[in-house]
Amino acid sequence: MSSEGTCGYVAIIGRPNVGKSTLLNHLLGQKLSITSRKPQTTRHRLLGIKTEGNTQIIYVDTPGLHQGKHNAMNRYLNRAATNSLVGVDVIVWLVEALQWTGEDNYVLEALAQCAVPVILGVNKIDKLSDKKALLPYLQEVAIKRDFVDVFPISAQKGQNLVELEAKISRLLPINTFLFPEDQFTDRTERFLAAEIIREKLVRRLGAELPYRLTVEIEHFSSETNLTHISAIIWVERKGQKPIVIGKKGQMLKAIGEEARKDMEMMVGCKVFLQLWVKIKQGWCDDERALRQLGYSDL
């Protein structure tokens, strides 16, 4: 690891479905965080590490801060997000262009006690039909707190991300690198495999069901040219199980095929994947069950 350079932690925070994971993936230049059009896809604090030259940026992807529906899972998500602000050097707060909501105010309150530099990223500018409305909106949100800078961006298209990252780099402290230069996350392949499966579930299933299921890797082992993975998809109720499996098992088969392809890209060899759907009654409002399933920030 380098003996000197600039290095630090950068939290990416915002309400659900504002594009935090998409931003992280684009900044890293590779996919790490799972994404979907549904809110609260991200459930865990996740580090994405980018090392270039004498700079190492450790991005912290966080669950979306949100109000309402305060079961154990939602409390966990908010706690994971706010805990991610502790010890960081820079915060990138992501909001959506022309779409300020009550949950953005909720994030603003959470940032009130943060003394580190905060950059405001105004995302999804590529989706604006009226570009003239952007400047007044930027002026309006820029006065909500003391930002070190405000960037209109598109995480999806990559607009203004080079400038955003250059600003981040200038704000980082002089420090030795905290991770090896070739490491890009703190998470294991086992964890990432579970996230890949969950992404396929979120994208394929209806609006509510993805929030009532989780994935647990039961077995993960690698041979020379083959990786064996066995995973359990946990649902809350008996009636949810046939939805995940689908008619004649077609839904589960499609999810497995899509997940296996992504896993093979991740591990660099063939993957033998087995999926099982099981019921754990009321798991997402049971803090003990959440801890058993890997939600460890409780």
If asked whether residues 118 and 216 sit together in one domain, one would say no
Query: Is residue 123, in this structure, part of any structural domain at all?
Result: yes
Is residue 178 included in any domain, yes or no?
no
48 within 8 A of 28, measured Cβ to Cβ: yes
Q: What are phi and psi of 55, to 5 degrees?
A: -125, 130
Under the banding of pLDDT at 50, 70 and 90, the label for residue 298 is very low
Domain co-membership, 17 together with 138? yes
For 145, phi then psi, to 5°, come to: -160, 180
* Domain edge (last residue) among 120, 138, 171: 171
Is it the case that residue 72 has pLDDT exceeding 60?
yes
Query: Which pLDDT tens digit goes with each residue over 86-101?
Result: 899 999 999 999 999 9
**Domain ranges, residue 237:** 189-292
C-alpha pair distances (Å), 255 with each of 46, 47, 55, 94, 273: 23, 26, 38, 31, 11
118: pLDDT strictly greater than 90? yes
Which candidate, 123, 116, 121, 158, places its Cα nearest to that of 142? 121
The reported pLDDT for the residue numbered 68 is 65
Average pLDDT over residues 220-246: 94
- Tell me the residue length of the chain: 298
Q: What three-state secondary structure class fits 190?
A: helix
What DSSP assignment string belongs to 116-183? Answer: S-EEEEEE-GGG-S-GGGHHHHHHHHHTSS--SEEEE-BTTTTBTHHHHHHHHHHHSPB---SS-TT-
> What percentage of the chain has pLDDT greater than the value 90?
69
CA-wise closest residue to 24 among 15, 34, 16: 34
Asked whether residue 25 falls in the same domain as residue 139, the answer is: yes
Residues comprising the binding site for GTP?
14-21, 61-65, 123-126
What mean pLDDT comes out for the span 242-247? 93
- Per the annotation, binding residues are 14-21, 61-65, 123-126
Residue with tokens 């099982």: 276
Instruction: Determine, yes or no, domain membership for 116.
Output: yes
pLDDT digits (tens, 9 = 90+) for 248-281: 999 999 999 999 999 999 999 999 999 999 999 9
**Model pLDDT for residues 171-207, shown as the tens digit of each residue:** 999 999 999 999 999 999 999 999 999 999 988 887 6
Residue 3 has pLDDT above 60, yes or no: no
Q: Do residues 216 and 232 make contact, with C-beta atoms less than 8 angstroms apart? A: yes
The model's pTM: 0.89
Tokens 């070739």 sit at which residue? Answer: 182
The encoded tokens of residue 246 equal 């689908």
Query: What's the first-to-final CA gap in the chain, in angstroms?
Result: 33
Residues 158 and 203 both lie in one domain: no
Q: 177 lies in a domain?
A: no
**What's phi and psi for 142, nearest 5 deg?**
-65, -20
Look at residue 297 and tell me if it is in a domain. Answer: no
For residue 193, tell me if it sits in a domain. Answer: yes
